[in-house]
Amino acid sequence: MKKTLVLLLFLAMAASPLFAAEAFDNFKTVISAGGTAAQASLDNFTKDLGALLGGGTYHNGKSLGFPGFDIGIHVPMKKISDDNNIVKSADVDSVALPIVQVEIGLPANIDIIGRYSSILNSTLLGYGLRYGIFKPSIPGLPSVSVQGVMTNLDAAAGSNKFKASNTSVSAVLSFNHLPVITPYLGVGYDTTSVTPDSSISTMTGSASGTRVEAGLNLSIIPMTYIQLGAASAGGDINGTFGLGIEF
């Protein structure tokens, strides 16, 4: 077990350069200019960042149950929107954000969720709760849960400093009686804010919108899974990939 956990953490850190500092390189330059154009740029940046921060928070509608445990790497991926000139001007067209997520099952169908990623000088921390509403004993019926997750990013890529916060509330269902494959579907609502460092601006970026994600888990090896999903967040199509262990 220890070797598996170490391997998951190593893979997450190895994947971190996919979302390296260059995506933020022009943040200060664009935002410090001020005015309505800078505010629009900040809001568009917030929209894309929120799609990433809120991604990968679920892959199953079933609560783990006590003493269940799930640890995995979940990697939301996104093509940068054309109106996100902060990232586009840095010649970055798409980004991926690897996140280590730990889920622990408690009594009463409650799971606690923790998230972590460290990218150069930027740190992501998240936490949340899941409640299992329905766990069927009859094949063909879905497991259903609701959850809320808050994810915070403290970015310090050189002089491009800001704090971002995403809150994602979702309802998720999955079909857990199929061999090898577990399909899932989630629908929720995200709100995101980005606050630049006071040395850059006093503006705050905001974005909100519906998130719909569908995908499947492949469990070829017992107690492991590979997750593949596609999501619509803020009107854009995004992808997510994950792998982990669950028991």
Task: Please tell me which residue, 18 or 59, carries the higher pLDDT value.
Answer: 59
What pLDDT sits at residue 109? 96
What pLDDT sits at residue 1? 45
- For 138-189, the pLDDT digits (tens) are 888 999 999 999 999 999 888 889 999 999 999 999 999 899 999 999 999 9
Which pTM was predicted? Answer: 0.88
The amino acid that residue 2 corresponds to is: K
Is it true that domain 2-246 has CATH number 2.40.160.20?
A: yes
Q: Place 7 in a pLDDT band, splitting at 50, 70 and 90.
A: very low
- For 25-73, the pLDDT digits (tens) are 889 999 998 899 999 999 999 999 999 999 999 999 999 999 999 999 9
Q: Place 21 in a pLDDT band, splitting at 50, 70 and 90.
A: low
Asked if 115 and 44 count as a contact pair (C-beta separation under 8 A), the reply is: no
Task: Please tell me which residue, 126 or 89, carries the higher pLDDT value.
Answer: 126
| Strand positions, DSSP E, the chain | 69-79, 94-96, 99-106, 110-119, 122-134, 143-157, 160-174, 181-196, 205-218, 224-233, 236-246
What pLDDT sits at residue 120? 65
Domain chopping of the chain, boundaries: 2-246
Question: Among 176, 18, 38, which Cα is nearest to 98's?
Answer: 18
- For 187-227, the pLDDT digits (tens) are 999 999 999 999 999 999 999 999 999 999 999 999 999 99
Q: Place 19 in a pLDDT band, splitting at 50, 70 and 90.
A: low
